[in-house]
Structure formats: C-alpha cells, structure tokens
Amino acid sequence: MRAKRHQGRGENLRLALAQEAARIMAEHGIHDFLVAKRKAAERLGLSEISAILPKNSEIEEALAGYQRLFGGTSHTEALAAQRRVALAAMRYLREFEPRLVGAVLSGTATEHSDVQLHLFAERAEAVTLKLIDGHIPHEVTERRVKLNAERVRPVPGVRFEMDDQPIEALVFPTDGIRQAPVSPVDGRPMRRANTLEVEALLEPS
C-alpha cells in the first residue's frame, strides 16, 4: 500500500514538474527542456528530483495543453504568422529543398520560438551566398546534432530574420535529406515538412 502511495506521489510530482516546466517555456522563452526542468524543480522546492523528472515528450504535451488553455486565438494567430514566415523563407531557399522542423511545425511554438529549417546543399556556403545575394543580414552558426543513438556531429547553419521573425537554418549534406536527425523531444527521427505540407497547414480547416 505504501509503495502505491509513493508511486502515486511520484506521478503527481512528475505531472507538476511537467506543467511548471511548460509554463516556464511558454512565458519566459526557454527552449532547453533540461533548463526548464531544473527551473521548475527549483520553483517547486524540489532537490532530489532525478527519479521524477518528466520526459521531454511529457513537457511538450503539457505545453500544448497550456497553450490550448491560455493561448486561445492569440496563440493560433501567432503560430499561423510564424508558419507564413517559414513558408516565405522556404520558397526563397527552394533550391536547398527546405524542410520545416521543430515547434513551429508541431504547433507548440511560443512567441519566443525560432522558425527552424533544415536545408540540403553540397556546400553550406551556397546558402550564405544566397542570403548575401538577397541582401539579408545573417549570422553563420554551428549546432551539434544527434544523427542517431551513437553519432553526434556539428552541423553548420545560418541565423537570419524575415518580418522580424528569427529563423535558424541548419545545412545538411544533400544525402542528409534521407535520414532526419533524432528529435530532442522523443528520441525518434525528427518530423520534417516540405513546402507543400506547410502550405497545407496554413489552409483553413
């Protein structure tokens, strides 16, 4: 009986942590799940939390629930605006077979979220030259990406803005289109959407 009571308390704490982490991500623009978990634990006065930390997927589910409850029409409109910017960027960068990934695709983006794109080119510099040709200010970046359970590698990228919306585009080799990297949310291959799929997301339901 005591074990069941302990298990139930653990589940309640996991749920409370997931909900608090989701609130922190939504309200404070934190994108890192682990940082959000730690801040949530601190705010709930928890220290020995390793056994009850929620999964990233549980936090994403709580974030979606938070947005449904508190976001309403404003969240829907903001998400549509982010997806329109994503579509405009994808059309501009169409020769690099762009794919939308991340929170703007899943629908859990907050007002602080970047539009995240995956591009594919033989040389990352080709994307930079495209932005220079379009007189688009940008910053060259690099991000470590988990390709599978064993492989993590640095991937070059660029950051720029369209209509005041930050965009981060990672540039993979051309054959990288065949296998998506691992999602930080659930550990599965990341969902990627091409231009037609993003257009469909913007059609009235």
Going by C-alpha positions, the residue among 130, 154, 131 that lies closest to residue 142 is 154
In a domain, residue 63? The reply is: no
Angle between helices 195-202 and 72-92 (to 10 degrees): 150
**Weakest mean pLDDT among 2-11, 31-40, 43-52, 165-174:** 2-11
Residue 40 shares a structural domain with residue 83: no
In a domain, residue 62? The reply is: no
pLDDT of residue 157: 97
In a domain, residue 13? The reply is: yes
In a domain, residue 149? The reply is: yes
d(CA 18, CA 114): 22
Higher pLDDT pick, 95 / 26: 95
d(CA 115, CA 83): 8
Mean pLDDT value of segment 117-123:
97
Question: pTM for the complete prediction?
Answer: 0.81
Residue 49 shares a structural domain with residue 84: no
Residue 94 shares a structural domain with residue 144: yes
Q: Give the amino acid at 124.
A: A
In a domain, residue 65? The reply is: no
Residue 198 shares a structural domain with residue 167: yes
Residue 162, beta-bridge partner list: 165
pLDDT greater than 90 at residue 141 = yes
Range of the domain at 124: 73-202
Mean pLDDT value of segment 27-36:
83
In a domain, residue 64? The reply is: no
pLDDT greater than 60 at residue 127 = yes
d(CA 80, CA 203): 10
Residue 147 shares a structural domain with residue 47: no
Residue 19 shares a structural domain with residue 98: no
**pLDDT tens sequence across 75-102:** 899 999 999 999 999 999 999 999 999 9
User: What contacts 179, CB < 8 A, 6 or more positions away?
Assistant: 147, 189
Residue 108 shares a structural domain with residue 175: yes
Domain count across the chain: 2
Q: Checking DSSP bridges between strand 138-146 and strand 165-172, what pairing results, if any?
A: unpaired
Residue 90 shares a structural domain with residue 9: no
pLDDT of residue 6: 46
Question: Taking phi first (over 0 means left), then psi (-120 to 50 degrees means alpha), and beta for anything else, what does residue 135 get?
Answer: left
Q: What does residue 109 show for φ and ψ, rounded to 5 degrees?
A: -65, 145
In a domain, residue 100? The reply is: yes
